[in-house]
Amino acid sequence: MKQRKTVATNVIIAICFAVWLFIQLFPSDSTITNSILIGAFYKPFVLAGEYWRLLTAGFVHVDLWHLAMNMMALLSLGKIFEPLLGVRKYLLILIPSIIVGSLFVLASPENSFVVGLSGGIYGLLAAYITLILRTGGWRMPPVRAALMNMLFINLLLNFLPNISVHAHLGGFVTGLIIYGFITTEKEEVYKRINHIVALVGLVIVLCFISWQNRSIPTRSRYLGTDYKVLQILHNGPLREYSYFLAERLDTVYGLDDGLVNVLGKE
């Protein structure tokens, strides 16, 4: 029997483990600081212009249990979809599901710190549910059992710290839309256009809501954490960038050069 290749899945798992090791080993006073440094979703920094965090947050895990659960789920779904769809289409579900899941979090009015690949996994889970419903696979006991196991694992993830149900919802909806698009025949132009319009419309609405909720409530500002991250950047090769980011954060918070002044006193 020909072995199913899961190269992209294995690379993603390796990246996630490498990032987790960095978070555990980098010499700072907390893993939260380290995770923000390496790309966790942290709303003030996203609003300050670090939009790449919408994607990189998916590869960041602070807790080993969270990492293990996500990697188990990814491996299970990756073994199905990477050989079935090919790397390009497989990543076309996974990556946008991470990003749109993060946009769901950004649209929340509260300050948020979120890590994990769950948004992407929920996108693949939506595709898997669609697949077994279309093919009638749910009638087969082994397939039903595998689905229940996946649902149970992903349900448990909702109760771990720094996990956002918003990201799960965003990932799931995105997975449904994109899987529908890539499995629609090219001749069915209108159906494909409908999927594109749905996804673009969803992103536009989320961006609009995010803009409306761009202010950070005073009760959920963590200026001490912000300063720690800025201080590490300032003491390293990104000194100039630390001032730039501090200025942007002062704008986000509506401060009169608060972080810039503190950083400049070193």
Nearest-Å Rg of the Cα atoms of the chain is 20
Spatial CB neighbours of 162, under 8 Å, sequence gap ≥ 6: 62, 63, 113, 114, 115, 116
Q: Are 137 and 12 in the same domain?
A: yes
* Per-residue confidence (pLDDT) for residue 1, from 0 to 100: 35
Q: Are 27 and 124 in the same domain?
A: yes
Q: Are 158 and 206 in the same domain?
A: yes
Q: Are 213 and 226 in the same domain?
A: no
* Per-residue confidence (pLDDT) for residue 158, from 0 to 100: 65
Q: Which residue has the tokens 């979703």?
A: 41
The tally of domains found in the chain comes to 2
Cβ atoms 10, 82 nearer than 8 A: no
* Per-residue confidence (pLDDT) for residue 160, from 0 to 100: 62
Q: Are 203 and 75 in the same domain?
A: yes
Residue 122 lies in a domain: yes
Q: Which residue has the tokens 């954490």?
A: 225
Residue 35 lies in a domain: yes
Q: Is residue 153 within a helix (H) or strand (E), and if so which, with residue range?
A: helix 141-157
* Per-residue confidence (pLDDT) for residue 266, from 0 to 100: 54
Residue 1 lies in a domain: no
Strands (E), the chain: 41-42, 113-114
Q: Are 211 and 234 in the same domain?
A: no
Q: Are 226 and 123 in the same domain?
A: no
Q: Are 21 and 45 in the same domain?
A: yes
* Per-residue confidence (pLDDT) for residue 138, from 0 to 100: 59
Residue 14 tokens, joined: 């390796």
* Per-residue confidence (pLDDT) for residue 141, from 0 to 100: 67
Other CB atoms within a 10 A radius of the CB of residue 247 amount to 15
Q: Are 183 and 243 in the same domain?
A: no
Tens of each residue's pLDDT in the chain, 266 residues: 345 689 999 999 999 999 999 999 998 889 999 999 999 999 999 999 999 999 999 999 999 988 998 998 899 899 989 999 999 999 999 999 999 999 999 999 889 999 999 999 999 999 988 988 877 765 666 666 767 777 776 676 666 655 678 889 999 999 999 999 999 887 788 889 999 999 999 999 999 999 999 989 888 889 999 999 999 999 989 999 999 999 999 999 988 878 888 777 55
d(CA 17, CA 75): 13
CA 178 distance to own-chain centroid? 16
Q: Are 190 and 213 in the same domain?
A: yes
Domain that holds residue 231: 222-264
Whichever domain contains 196, its CATH number is 1.20.1540.10
Residue 2 lies in a domain: no
